Structure 1
Amino acid sequence: MNKTYFISATGTELGKTWLTAGLFKACRDQGRPVRAIKPVMSGYDPARHEDSDVAKLGAGRTAWSYRAPLSPDLAAAKEGKSIDFDALVAWSRDEMARTEGLLLIEGIGGVMVPLTSRHTVRDWIAALDVPLLLVCGTYLGALSHTLTALAALRELNIRPAHLILNESFGSSVSIEDTLASLTPHAGGLPIVVLRRDDAAGLARLASIL
């Protein structure tokens, strides 16, 4: 059965690539057909491809890549380019159509990161209309960022399939306290708690996708 999940986050550097790569490996270990792609990437140095997010996914080269470590719209503009949103959606759908089994699409930055002067990652998610895994952190301020992201998603009738509460490095707030505060505000969304060393948790999540 073919299925696609979009993996996004409430901000940047929260563990999207870690989660995508981990789910990819877990599915492979379970003998399931799976692909992982990252269509848009900034801060990409072709000379250090092996260190890039897309390389960590075993996905080869990304389709839209820019050198500057900025939001995609700004990174593209630095090179005199722009992202064609319709082309991005069409490319993503083509990847979905040609994938046998599970496809993991990793977004870029948070859900409200601009892709163009008119579109954000949120619009990309809405256009594809596939289940969303939304990664959130445990750092101080993460609760506000998470609830703000959920409110923005609701404006386009996007309800994440799962919230992934991913332990932030060096956080002064525990994952338990974050979960306790977030749960009553999450509108009944399933919340999956994952620490960075939780291979068993990744395997359990992979098994229900």
Structure 2
Amino acid sequence: MKIFVTGTDTDVGKTIISSWLCLHTGYHYFKPIQTGSTLGTDSHEVNKLTGTNVYKEDFLFEKESSPHLAASIECRKIDIEEITLPKVSNLIIEGAGGILVPINETIFMVDLIKKCATPVILVARSTIGTINHTLLSLEALRARNISILGIILNGQYNKDNLKAIEFYGKVKVLASIPTLQHISKENLIKVPFLVELQTIFNII
């Protein structure tokens, strides 16, 4: 099974969640578009945290910014038709930024998700503002008939926000990942992998 991990925003925790998923499932990892490479890559971070197999990015840019801007600065253009998913059955694909971050003049991240034809796990913050951002993201995905497996919240546990997202978004919150003081393989593996996720990944 291939799963696309996207988020409601940049720096929402997609890479940490992707690492956590790979660590518990043994899935491979692929991030087709990476910006901010001068600061390091998410592929390197996932490999360091999990030891899982990671695949080389199709598009890699130095500037830490939206993909369309990072590409423009290097006088390049991202063509999502040049993105090919690795030929493995168990794969986590991580997007860049949020769902409607632009990739070029006419294409958004959600268009890449649609092209990949994979179901989505949406990563959202647990804190104030998350209800609006999450519901808007769900609406954008559903408008394009993209299958949504559920939400993973990242940050301090917030029962009210969790329940509101499930109720108004008509979606299941698959997990709520606590803020880790130190991000390491040892600490990530301690975060429980709940039954809902075990069912999705067919590891029960």
Equivalent of 2:30 in 37, 52, 59: 37
What's the counterpart of residue 118 of structure 1? 106
Ranked by relative contact order (alpha carbons within 8 Å, sequence separation 6 or more), the top structure is: 1
Distance 2:21 2:175 in 1: 14
**Residue identity matched to 2:172:** P
What's the counterpart of residue 175 of structure 2? 193
Contact kept? 1:42, 1:72, Cα under 8 Å: yes
**Residue identity matched to 2:126:** T
Structure 1 residue runs of 5 or longer lacking an equivalent are 29-33, 169-173
The more displaced of 4-13 and 150-159 is 150-159
Kindly state the Cα deviation for residue 201 of structure 1 after the two structures are TM-superposed.
2.7
Kindly state the Cα deviation for residue 202 of structure 1 after the two structures are TM-superposed.
3.3
Q: Tell whether 2:4 aligns with 1:11.
A: no
**Residue 147 to residue 203, structure 1, CA distance change in 2 (3 Å):** closer
2:98 alignment partner, SS class? coil
C-alpha deviations, 1:31-59, integer Å up to 9, x for none?
xxx211111111111xx54xx21102222
Q: Give RMSD over aligned pairs.
A: 1.9
C-alpha deviations, 1:158-188, integer Å up to 9, x for none?
23111112226xxxxx51121122221012x
**What does residue range 144-155 of structure 1 map to in structure 2 within 5 Å?**
144-155=132-143
**Residue identity matched to 2:18:** T
Number of aligned positions between the proteins = 185
What's the counterpart of residue 171 of structure 1? none
Kindly state the Cα deviation for residue 208 of structure 1 after the two structures are TM-superposed.
3.0
Distance 2:91 2:7 in 1: 18
What's the counterpart of residue 56 of structure 1? 45
TM-score (norm 2): 0.83
Distance 1:195 1:22 in 2: 9
Distance 1:36 1:128 in 2: 14
Kindly state the Cα deviation for residue 131 of structure 1 after the two structures are TM-superposed.
1.0
Q: Tell whether 2:153 aligns with 1:179.
A: no
Distance 2:110 2:11 in 1: 17
**Residue 22 to residue 133, structure 1, CA distance change in 2 (3 Å):** same
What's the counterpart of residue 208 of structure 1? 200
**Residue identity matched to 2:71:** A
**What does residue range 10-159 of structure 1 map to in structure 2 within 5 Å?**
10-28=8-26, 34-45=27-38, 49=40, 52-58=41-47, 59=54, 61-88=56-83, 91-92=84-85, 95=86, 98-99=87-88, 101-159=89-147
**Residue identity matched to 2:68:** D
**Residue identity matched to 1:5:** I
Distance 1:127 1:193 in 2: 27
Kindly state the Cα deviation for residue 200 of structure 1 after the two structures are TM-superposed.
4.1
